Structure formats: structure tokens, C-alpha cells
């Protein structure tokens, strides 16, 4: 997969200001407002921001902010411990409900954000404010991938120096939390159901995810959960972990979740950008 494309997109993301229409409280839609949760080391304006803008053009009102950033380093989100970011996300969900006047939101998360889309409803008392959840490649049962720090470099501000400085200063709580026997993973899998009553969860994963490994660790085997390989729909999509955020096939699968049209057909693109 052309990692060049991914780099180009990342560079584009880094220089793009907000697409029109997103984070607009005057936006009107019959659907629930959609809250986006970015990955480790990313911010609301990179990672799944393109997906956010695309869904906005499909008639959804979409909202996102950076979570889990340390004071003074707003350009690197998702680094704080999962249990510190979770209340921030819950507060944001309440804010979106209040400001839009809707009773529920839908959640779309990628990577750590996907993990949070399961963790926050379970532990932060906001499950009743959430309807549909599209979780792209959550490390639900932890990942054998040893070096989650790399995610901070891959998804975040492209300045490796800046990332290194922040990690040296504060560490990466989320990295430790999501690794093997990480605190947040153990808590999410405490024996009580992950999925909360009233929440409709779809997990979307790629067989070729090279970071959340083995990729089936994303899936939640509970009643009512839809576990979906990208390749079940688009067999020739070789997309990997980072590329999932920029992959039109994945975007269409997410749209199907939000529109509750799970079997809507779309043209699979061969070689969506990103790896």
C-alpha cells in the first residue's frame, strides 16, 4: 500500500483547518449527532477527521474534539491514561446532547478511540446517551503489539521530536493501559458485559491490521454485537491499522452502521489509500 499516500494525507491533515460544516451546532439532521474519537497520539483534526468530513457530506451532523492531551501539548491527544480520558469523553458526549437538543449520540472511534467507545459507556454513566457505536479496530482484548508508542508517532503530529519530548515528560499512560495485561484492558474485560443495554455495537476490523494483533482481538463476542471484517465486504482491501482511518471502504461500512443499512452495497475500492 502506498505509504506515500498515507504520508501525504497525514501532511494534508496537519495543514488542513476544519472542513466546513463539522462541529456546527446549527447543523440539522434526522439522525443522531455523531461523535468521533481519534486514536493514540492523534487529535480531532487528524486521524478520522477525513471520515468525519465525509460523513458530514452524507447528511450527518458530526462532532469531535481532542481528548487525553497533556496541558501545553494540545497537538498530541490520547496519551493520558484511559481512565483519565474517559471522563473527558463522557463530558463531551453530554455537551453534544445538550447543545444539539437530541437525546442520543452515535459514536465512531478508531484504535484507542474505538476502545474508548466501548469503555466510556461501560464505566462513565453515559450509556443511555448513546445509540449506535462503530468501533474501528479497538484493542478490546489488548494487543500483542509490544510497542504502542509507535502509534503515537504514526498517528500524531509528525514531529518525532515533539512526540518524544512529551512522552519523556509525561509518559504514555494509554500505551501501557492498552498493552498486554494493561489496566484498562483488564477493566474492560472484568467479566461483566462490555456492551451496555440499548447500545448497538458494530466492530470493524481488518485481517491485515499489523498493530492490533491478532486482529480478531478487536471483536466482542456478546449478543447483538456485529463483528465485521472489512474483507468480508471488500475481499481485496489490504488496509492496515493506520489506513483504516482513510479507507473509503471503511467509511462506507461506518455509514452503513450509522444509517442502519448494514447490507447496503457499495463499490469497493481497490487500494484505498493508507496501510
Ligand X SMILES: *[C@@H]1O[C@H](CO)[C@@H](O)[C@H](O)[C@H]1NC(C)=O
| Residues 34-93 interacting with ligand X (rule: CB under 6 A) | 75, 81, 83
For residues 141 and 217, is the Cβ–Cβ distance under 8 A?
yes
- Binding part of the chain for ligand X, among 28-36, 154-162, 203-211, 216-224 by CB under 6 A, reads 154-162
Q: Give CA–CA dist 138/218, Å, rounded.
A: 5
| Residues 191-250 interacting with ligand X (rule: CB under 6 A) | none
Burial of 163 (0-12, 13-18, 19+ CB in 10 A): buried
Of 58 and 187, nearer to ligand X (C-beta) is: 187
Q: Give CA–CA dist 216/205, Å, rounded.
A: 7
Is residue 123 close enough to count as binding ligand X by CB under 6 A? no
Q: Minimum distance between the CB of residue 120 and ligand X, rounded to whole angstroms?
A: 14
| Residues 241-270 interacting with ligand X (rule: CB under 6 A) | none
Give which of 259, 183, 195, 251 is closest to 227, Cα–Cα: 195
Q: Give CA–CA dist 186/25, Å, rounded.
A: 37
Cα→Cα distances 190→5, 53, 130, 229, Å: 40, 36, 21, 25
Residue 83, C-alpha cell as written in the block: 481512565
Is residue 157 close enough to count as binding ligand X by CB under 6 A? yes
Q: Minimum distance between the CB of residue 112 and ligand X, rounded to whole angstroms?
A: 13
Q: Minimum distance between the CB of residue 166 and ligand X, rounded to whole angstroms?
A: 9
Is residue 183 close enough to count as binding ligand X by CB under 6 A? yes
Of 167 and 268, nearer to ligand X (C-beta) is: 167
Of 162 and 269, nearer to ligand X (C-beta) is: 162
For residues 232 and 207, is the Cβ–Cβ distance under 8 A?
no
Size of the site for ligand X (CB under 6 A): 10
- Binding part of the chain for ligand X, among 59-67, 104-112, 140-148, 156-164 by CB under 6 A, reads 156-164
Q: Site for ligand X (CB under 6 A): which residue of 103, 144, 159, 261?
A: 159
For residues 56 and 21, is the Cβ–Cβ distance under 8 A?
yes
Interaction site with ligand X (CB under 6 A): 14, 75, 81, 83, 157, 159, 162, 173, 177, 183
Amino acid at each position: 500500500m502506498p505509504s506515500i499516500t498515507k504520508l501525504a494525507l497525514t501532511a494534508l491533515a496537519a495543514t488542513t483547518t476544519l472542513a466546513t460544516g463539522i462541529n456546527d451546532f446549527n447543523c440539522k439532521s434526522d439522525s443522531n449527532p455523531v461523535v468521533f474519537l481519534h486514536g493514540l497520539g492523534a487529535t480531532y483534526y487528524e486521524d478520522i477527521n477525513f471520515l468525519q468530513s465525509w460523513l458530514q457530506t452524507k447528511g450527518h451532523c458530526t462532532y469531535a474534539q481532542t481528548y487525553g492531551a497533556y496541558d501545553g501539548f494540545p497537538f498530541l491527544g490520547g496519551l493520558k491514561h484511559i481512565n483519565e480520558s474517559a471522563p473527558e469523553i463522557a463530558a463531551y458526549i453530554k455537551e453534544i446532547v445538550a447543545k444539539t437538543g437530541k437525546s442520543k449520540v452515535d459514536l465512531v472511534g478508531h484504535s484507542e478511540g474505538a476502545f474508548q467507545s466501548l469503555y466510556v459507556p461501560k464505566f462513565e454513566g453515559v450509556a443511555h446517551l448513546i445509540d449506535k457505536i462503530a468501533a474501528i479496530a479497538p484493542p478490546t482484548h489488548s494487543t500483542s503489539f509490544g510497542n504502542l508508542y509507535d502509534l503515537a508517532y504514526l498517528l500524531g503530529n509528525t514531529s518525532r521530536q515533539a512526540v518524544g519530548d512529551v512522552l519523556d515528560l509525561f509518559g504514555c499512560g494509554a500505551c501501557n493501559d492498552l498493552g498486554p495485561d494493561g489496566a484498562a484492558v483488564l477493566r474492560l474485560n472484568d467479566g461483566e458485559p462490555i456492551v451496555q443495554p440499548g447500545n448497538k455495537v458494530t466492530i470493524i476490523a481488518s485481517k491485515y491490521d499489523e498493530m492490533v494483533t491478532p486482529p480478531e482481538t478487536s471483536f466482542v463476542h456478546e449478543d447483538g454485537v456485529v463483528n465485521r471484517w472489512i474483507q468480508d465486504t471488500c475481499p481485496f482491501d489490504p488496509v492496515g491499522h493506520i489506513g483504516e482511518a482513510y479507507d473509503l471502504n471503511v467509511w462506507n461500512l461506518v455509514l452503513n452502521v450509522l444509517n442502519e443499512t448494514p447490507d447496503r452495497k457499495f463499490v469497493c475500492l481497490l487500494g484505498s489509500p493508507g496501510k
